[in-house]
Structure 1
Amino acid sequence: MPRLQAVIFDLDGTLIDSATDITAAVNKLLDKYDRPPVTVEQIRVMVGDGAPVLLRRVFEATGTSLDPDRAPAIYADFLEFYEKEPASPDSIFPGVPETLDLLLARGLKLGLCTNKPERVTREVLVQLDLGRFFGSVAGGDTLPVRKPDGGHVTWIMDRLGVTDGAAVMVGDNHNDVAAARSAGIPVVAVSYGYPHIPTVEMGADAIIDHFTELPAVLDGLADR
């Protein structure tokens, strides 16, 4: 691959374990609409495809399907609940800030490409003091497309000034792998996130079990 210029990260399940916070916001929403609550374990297998899909899955799991005519208002309610849900510093996976600092010290540019709504993403980044690492951020509603569409990733690359596909994607989900492949860049999968299929079956170029393994894996990809 060309000399590495940037690393683009997923957020939920890659940098932070947000399932507890998402569950709390979802259950406040469900309570408002007289629905039974869901568990953290249920949420873990529902996230990854963006908030509209998450809410559709949540409503299907708790009764009747989400009424399309009511979906915009319910989505707005969810964003309001989620923005008010404090993000716990304990949600950051071990080694994340230190490793991101190391990558910046190497002169790499960092981007964030998540299917989480942009408003909530930026609020979470502020609360967890992670926003300082990223030169560009794209949420699931920032563009007309989102992962697994490669345009979501290439937009970040363009904003970072990355040329010749000289970037690597890091994520936990099949959408991250598909988006990276479409964008023409290698992808590293983390084994500890919210995959919908076994991580070894996603087709990533490398898999890491701990975030601190990332710099060495990036060196290995650069040598290919």
Structure 2
Amino acid sequence: MNVGMSRPFRSSKAILFDLDGTLVDSAPDITAAVNELLASRELPPLRLDQVKAMIGGGVRKLVERAFAASGAPLLGSALDEANRAMAPIYRRHLTGLTRLMPGVREVLTHFHLSGIAMGVVTNKPQLAAREILLHFGLTEHLGAIVGGDAVTSLKPAPDALLLALDQLQVEPRDTLMVGDSGADVVAARAAGMPVILLRGGYTQIAVEELGADLVCDGLLDLPSAMRRLQDAA
């Protein structure tokens, strides 16, 4: 579904992937971390679907949304303190319940053998992102891993994408962004690159309505989706 490319699509030299909801289904682990934090404040747990709707703005925003949903909203220094308390809890819940999205290994291997550089850009803290990718043995295919704490502004700002491009030594016009949310689209547009969204991620808005150049069902459809973009350019 082509919804208006920002520029003619060329054969990509590089691909940047979002992490949560794109390469991994981390919502169960994130839910466990959120509920451990809430339990420490004697607040009731949240459901998986509730927490999944909160993912996407970084850990601090996750904490803010979780306390608001629990009926105990936090502001200012109280939110700062809860965010600090979340840090070690979050690190304990990175890989126990997290699973790869279907097709990740096959697709990354395909692009690696095709000579396409790849990176991950995520609002998740960088060490957490790297630990997850190491756990699943994916780092050998990645020339850049940029977390939210490595840049000044989180997605939807383009900072993480631009840093990854610098590390991969490629230009925006030669790079494709692959994600699952509106933040990925806005960041890609601001960085000057085309973007494909995958269904089945964590966005609460239908992916067809988010303004991507193309939407596909999953990672296994990505190579053919890229060919369709080239044919339509």
TM-score range, shorter chain: over 0.9
Other-structure match for 1:70 = 78
Structure 1 residue 3, shift from structure 2 partner: 3.6
Unpaired runs of 5+ in structure 2? 1-8
Measure the CA separation in 1 of the matches of 2:188 and 2:144: 16
- In structure 1, what is the Cα distance between the partners aligned to 2:50 and 2:41? 19
Match of 1:61 in 2: 69
Match of 2:133 among 117, 125, 141: 125
**1:46 aligned residue:** 54
Is 1:194 aligned with 2:216?
A: no
- Aligned-residue sequence identity (percent) comes to 37
SS in 1 for 2:82: helix
Q: Distance in 1 between matches of 2:172 and 2:206?
A: 31
- Inter-CA distance 15–164: structure 2 relative to 1 (3 Å threshold): closer
- 8 Å contact kept, 1:208–1:214: yes
Tell me by how many angstroms 1:70 deviates: 2.8
CA contact (8 A) 1:167 1:185 kept: yes
Q: In 1, Cα distance between the equivalents of 2:149 and 2:12?
A: 28
Query: Paired residue for 1:87?
Result: 95
Name the structure 1 match of 2:31. 23
User: Which amino acid letter does the alignment assign opposite residue 180 of structure 2?
Assistant: D
TM-score by length of structure 1 reads 0.94
1:166 to 2:159 alignment: no
How big is the shift at 1:178?
0.5
Deviations 1:36-82 (A, max 9, x none): 11110101111111111111000001122113213333223222112
Describe the superposition over 1:73-107 as per-residue Cα deviations: whole angstroms up to 9, x where unpaired. Answer: 32232221121125148610111111101001110
Work out whether residues 165 and 184 of structure 1, in 8 Å CA contact, stay in contact via their aligned partners in 2: yes
C-alpha separation in 2, matches of 1:89 and 1:185: 33
Aligned length in residues: 224
RMSD of aligned alpha carbons: 1.5
Tell me the equivalent position of 1:205: 213
Shift of 1:130: 2.1
Q: Is the 8 A contact 2:185 2:212 kept in 1?
A: yes
With normalisation by structure 2, the TM-score equals: 0.91
Structure 1 residues 174 and 126: CA distance shift in structure 2, 3 A: same
